[in-house]
Structure 1
Amino acid sequence: MQNRIILAATAASAIALAGSAAQSADFTLRIHTLVQSPHPYNDMAVFMEERLEAESDGRIDVRVFDSGQLGQDPAVIGEMGLGSVDLMISTTSNAAEQIPEFAIFTMPYLFSSMDDVLETVGPGTEIHEHFQQVYDERGVGMRLLALGASGTRNLSTAEVPVESIEDLQGLQMRTPPSPMDSETWSALGMLPVSVDWGELYAAMQTGVAEAMESSLPGYTGSKLYEVAPNLALTAHTIQVNHTSMSTATWESLPEDLQELVQEVAIAANEHGVEMAKQYDDELVETLQEEHGVNVTRPDTQAFRDALAPIQQQLAEDLDLVEEYELVTRE
């Protein structure tokens, strides 16, 4: 009994100290991610938490809310505009409702590697500056701190193992609210159905969707292998993520803390790319050995050949010609 009392007192003291630290800080920043660990977004959020608290001399306190605790991305973007959520780290495809130009990043086989993504769209690039201008024009009330890469996205299915394009015909394919995704999978003979990430497990479980695609960390962290146990390594896109901050929060910070937040966000972005590479290398083996996932390796050249002719047309149909030309410019 005495040990329990001591443990309870220790826990209460820790909570009190944490609360005291938060109260003594000049600024408390809430970071949203949609995903469960292991995932690069959560690694990036924790990286930012540790660095910002350590390097601000206690002026910044950071709270990380992962697993969609603050809501789904479209709702959180609205909260960011109001300043009630301060930072978010997420995939650009989930922001395509408010920022349609982000749909360019779901175009299939646009990048050759995660390093290629970082070099093309990372901080300081023309693409980064373009999307900050898009943020401003769209009036979303956010500042773009960084664009980065968080792993290859691959196809998985509930019942039918995918060995070739022929296996996709007629399957109900879950897509995020992104027209690019819908058009891409329709071109491969699938039937798109839009489902939010937080509802995906149930959609696959109940048959509302028969196929889905995601990063390997997202697939693993959300235990989607339980309802979509057939994983096809199509690597059809390299997931592009954004780290964004509420404009209201940004403008409330003094210049030295703005510089610190920007610097830490860029470092976290690079950390996320390295973690994504590590996960992609390790998770396939883990999924096979620990979760019994059936892994297939279709001929991706066949997918590339089928989709390459429609890229320019997709860009034109979805009013993304400017973004397409910026990304593909050599």
Structure 2
Amino acid sequence: MTLTSWIRPFLGASAIVLMAQTVMAEEWRLGHILPPDHPGNRALEAAASEIAKRTEGRVDIKVFPAGQIGGAKEILTGMTIGTHHMAFDGAGILSQWTSELGALEAPFLAKDFAHLERLIDSDKGQDLVNKLREDHGIRALDFWYFGTRHMTNNTHPIEAVADVEGLKIRVPEVALSLEFIKALSGNPVPMAFPELYLGLQTGVVDGMENPLPTIEASKFYEVQDHLALTGHLVQFVAPLVAEDVWQRTSEEDRAVIMEVLQATGNTYNQAIVELEAELVDELAANGMQVTTPDREAFAEAVEVIFPDFEDAWGTGTYEALAAVE
């Protein structure tokens, strides 16, 4: 489908260094695992082009989608050792560095993206974001709406919790995702995102869970018959930069980067909200059978896993976030 007109592909190159009194380009490598046609990738490319223009090439970001320069773990690890400069990812994978961030991905915690933004802006949310930067040198520049995750499969419609029993569901390599599916009596199968289409096509897994824009952009409707609107997880995805890269950038250019990313993010967020509203009908038209299970029943079924994560999240972290209206 045609996305909003402002999302266009751009290629950039990077920031600046002085060598022999000559300004030279230092490439900022921004890697992520989303496909090139995902609106998040298009938004990043648009932002990179605008940043390069407004900084006269001093900050010129090159975007590498679809795992071209590594998987999520490799990209984030690279940011901590200097081989990668930027990433675009969310709390689930970041919790492998700062475990407390995992609480932001507790199923059914956030009602919608506006609520998730309030969770991040809360005192506890800011503590978690700051801890990631202070402990691991990974700075979140903004928070964008990745989408609300729903479940798909090839076996049968999901109308109730019992319908998940026995299904082989692909999950990210995140402990909370594994336990979420187990709590529903499914069989979680950790699998890297770039391998997922083939895994669904060949029956290695029966299903998966992802936001609607990801399902559409990755053409998962070609290899999945059933879509259940479980809405179990509202997620952000953040443009991330290595702190040492950020600190060697001028304050003037930092201000431009922040202004462009926030403006782009606002437009992107609205585009995702509008896209999600359209995609249920579009995915149904592409052959997916759509069901709307009882979310409260699903939420009750997974509450039992939260105490198991108290050590990782920190005592009282989930409760503090859950208290944010």
Tell me the TM-score range normalised by the shorter chain: 0.7 to 0.9
Q: Deviations over 1:130-165 (max 9, x none)?
A: 32223422x3x3222123322110000022221111
Q: Which entry has the higher C-alpha Rg, 1 or 2?
A: 1
Displacement of 1:80: 1.4
- 2:32–2:71 Cα contact (<8 Å) kept: no
- 1:156–1:232 Cα contact (<8 Å) kept: yes
SS of residue paired to 1:149: strand
Match of 2:247 in 1: 251
- 1:101–1:320 Cα contact (<8 Å) kept: yes
- 2:183–2:305 Cα contact (<8 Å) kept: no
Identity of aligned residues (%): 25
Match of 2:166 in 1: 170
* 1:192 matches 2:188: yes
Deviates more, 1:298-307 or 1:66-75: 298-307
Match of 2:9 in 1: none
Gaps of 5+ in 2: 1-11, 17-21
Alpha carbons of structure 1 residues 147 and 67: separation in structure 2 relative to 1, 3 Å: same
1:1-330 alignment runs, 5 A limit: 26-122=25-121, 126-137=124-135, 139=136, 141-289=137-285, 291-307=286-302, 309-310=303-304, 312-316=306-310, 318-330=312-324
Displacement of 1:77: 0.7
Displacement of 1:37: 4.5
Distance 1:152 1:64 in 2: 24
Distance 1:128 1:50 in 2: 29
Displacement of 1:51: 2.6
Query: How many residue pairs end up in the alignment?
Result: 307
SS of residue paired to 1:104: helix
SS of residue paired to 1:253: coil
Distance 2:280 2:24 in 1: 42
Match of 1:6 in 2: none
Gaps of 5+ in 1: 1-17
Displacement of 1:168: 0.7
TM-score (norm 1): 0.83
The alignment yields a C-alpha RMSD, in angstroms, of 2.6
Distance 2:183 2:83 in 1: 40
Distance 1:44 1:303 in 2: 33
Residue type of the alignment partner of 1:296: T
Displacement of 1:25: 6.6
Q: Pick the structure with more helix per residue.
A: 1
SS of residue paired to 2:143: strand
